[in-house]
Structure formats: C-alpha cells, structure tokens
C-alpha cells in the first residue's frame, strides 16, 4: 500500500555503476527541511538471481518506500537485504519500507541502534521538520538483527568488508562489491568537498583514511557519504585538508590565540561546495579536540 502511494510521485534515481550495482545520490550538507534528510549516498547491488542488497535505506519510511519502488523498477526485484554501515538515522530509518528484508550491521552497531534508535529518530525529525519527517514515528523503527561477523573484516553477500573507527566506541563498515569493484565508505569520505567532522574524532578519521588507502584498489569506484562517484584520490585530498586544518589550528592554540580571533581560513579549499558552512565548524571542532592537550 505504501509503495503504491510512493510510486505515484518522484522516485530516487538509480545510476548504474556496473553490471550488478547502482548508485543513489544524496544532497550535500546536514539534514534539513530542504533535503528531507537525504544526505547519505546509497548503493544497490544484485547478488545472483535471488537477492538484492541495499547499503543505506534513507532517512524516513516515506523516502524508503519511494526508493523501494525505484529499485523494483530498475532491477525487477525487491530488496532482500539491507546493510546499516553505522548508527545514523539518516541512512537507516527508511528500512521499515522494505518488508521482509534482512538488516545487517556490525555487532556493536546493532547494540547501539537497538538502544538509541528512538532518540536518534526524534533528533532527525527535529532537524528535517514535521513535513519531511511525518513518517518518522516510533512504530516505524527497525533496528538490524543480523551480524555481518565479529572482528575487523569479513564478507557478507556480494561484499567484502572492513571496519574502521570513526569516534570512540563508534565503528563504521566499509564495503567493497567484489564483482563491480565499488567501495562504499559512508561516514568517512566527502568526495570533492570539506568533510563533516561533527560527532567524530579527527585523529581517528585520519588513521582510518590512511588504512582505507591501503585497502582500496586503484581502479575501485568510491562512494562516500556525499559527493558522487570518486576514486582513491579522494582519500588523499581529504587527508590533505585535515593536515592543513591541523596546520592552522595547532599553531594558533600554541600562540595562545582566542578562538574567533583569527578566521583560520584555508584559501586552497575555499571553493569547495560546503566550505563556508563546514570549515568554521571544523575549526571549532579540532580546536576543542586539541585544547585539552595544552594543559597536560
């Protein structure tokens, strides 16, 4: 019923990446009423004749229903398996629209989502507003129940996976589609843009990006949180920005500057789409991370 209603409106667009994979784009920036919370790119993957995998089901059941229709139209089949790469409502609250689909995650992500989904859902609804978030109700929550496996790497369905730290106590799955050589790195990569450092550790992000450089193949297509299809060079560009950010914040702290006394601009990155909004917040974030070290 929900899918029939959703299919009468505009559907998300699936763009082919290979014979068995499709990419679903997302808006840049943080969830807000304008983008409806659709701020995490998704991947659809066919696994043989019987299974369709979805990495990221979207922010709301209403969006998930439209995505389900789009996937059915593009592949001729319904989604059988969903992967939640981390505990983030904007990539997971749409899963209720995929009735019967198995939902997979890291064991620690499963525990976090089972404990916090209601709070995260309420926070997302506050961000995107009552209209876009109308389908976000407590009864619509589906937390993952299938573990991809223990440890830091493994395989599930058509994917190999590796887990990286994003913040203390928060890991994120990175998936590589074995046949089509597509890597999904939600929550770690913002291709062609300034990264969003909110809710993560800058040092952990840097370490994870370096390790991901060693894991990703030079010919792999790369889908990050936002920014379209990229390749491994996007990892180095993001690391260069983080190094440049540290290069202006750390000396300012050492001089005893006050936050806000200097704009701490990085002109080489000023033309990136989200620089004006994100860079000042990234300065504040890294400043807060480094400042306690001055008093040890």
> pLDDT tens digits, residue range 275-285?
999 999 999 99
Query: What is the residue range of 149's domain?
Result: 2-295
Split into its structural domains, the chain has a count of 1
- pLDDT score for 295: 65
Going by C-beta distance under 8 Å and a sequence separation of 6 or more, which residues neighbour residue 132? 33, 36, 37, 60
Angle between helices 202-215 and 275-290 (to 10 degrees): 110
- pLDDT score for 2: 46
Nearest to 41 by CA among 29, 18, 58: 58
How far, in Å, CA of 229 to CA of 240, rounded? 19
Q: What is the pLDDT along the chain (296 residues), one digit of tens a residue?
A: 344 556 767 899 999 999 999 999 999 999 999 999 999 999 999 999 889 999 999 999 999 999 999 999 999 999 999 999 999 999 999 999 999 999 999 999 999 998 888 999 999 999 999 999 999 998 888 999 999 999 999 999 999 999 999 999 999 999 999 999 999 999 999 999 999 999 999 999 999 999 999 999 989 999 999 999 999 999 999 999 999 999 999 999 998 888 876 779 999 999 999 999 999 999 999 999 999 887 66
- pLDDT score for 57: 97
- pLDDT score for 8: 64
List residues bridging with 164 in a β-sheet: 172
> pLDDT tens digits, residue range 133-155?
999 998 888 999 999 999 999 99
Q: Could you tell me the CATH number of the domain that includes residue 105?
A: 3.60.15.10
Contact (CB, 8 A) for 177 and 216 = no
């Amino acid at each position: 019923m929900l899918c029939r209603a959703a299919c009468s409106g505009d559907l998300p667009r699936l763009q082919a990446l290979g014979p068995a994979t499709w990419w679903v784009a997302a808006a840049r920036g943080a969830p807000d009423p304008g983008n409806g919370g659709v701020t995490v790119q998704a991947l659809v993957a066919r696994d043989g004749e019987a299974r369709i995998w979805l990495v990221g089901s979207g922010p709301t059941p209403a969006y998930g229903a439209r995505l389900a229709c789009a996937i059915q139209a593009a592949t001729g089949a319904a989604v059988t398996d969903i992967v939640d790469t981390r505990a983030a409502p904007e990539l997971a609250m749409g899963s209720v629209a995929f009735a019967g689909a198995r939902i997979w995650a890291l064991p620690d992500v499963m525990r976090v989502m089972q404990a916090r989904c209601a709070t995260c859902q309420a926070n997302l609804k506050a961000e995107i507003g009552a209209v876009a978030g109308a389908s976000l109700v407590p009864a619509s929550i589906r937390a993952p129940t299938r573990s991809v496996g223990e440890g830091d790497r493994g395989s599930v369905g058509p994917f190999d996976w590796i887990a990286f730290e994003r913040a203390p106590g928060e890991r994120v799955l990175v998936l590589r589609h074995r046949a089509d050589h597509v890597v999904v790195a939600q929550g770690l990569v913002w291709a062609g843009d300034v990264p969003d450092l909110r809710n993560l550790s800058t040092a952990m992000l840097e370490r994870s990006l370096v390790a991901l450089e060693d894991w990703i193949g030079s010919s792999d297509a790369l889908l990050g949180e936002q920014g379209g299809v990229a390749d491994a060079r996007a990892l180095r560009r993001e690391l260069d920005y983080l190094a440049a950010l540290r290069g202006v914040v750390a000396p300012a702290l050492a001089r005893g500057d006050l936050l806000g006394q200097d704009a701490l601009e990085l002109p080489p990155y000023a033309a990136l789409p989200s620089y004006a909004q994100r860079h000042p917040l990234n300065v504040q974030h890294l400043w807060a991370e480094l400042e306690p070290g001055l008093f040890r």
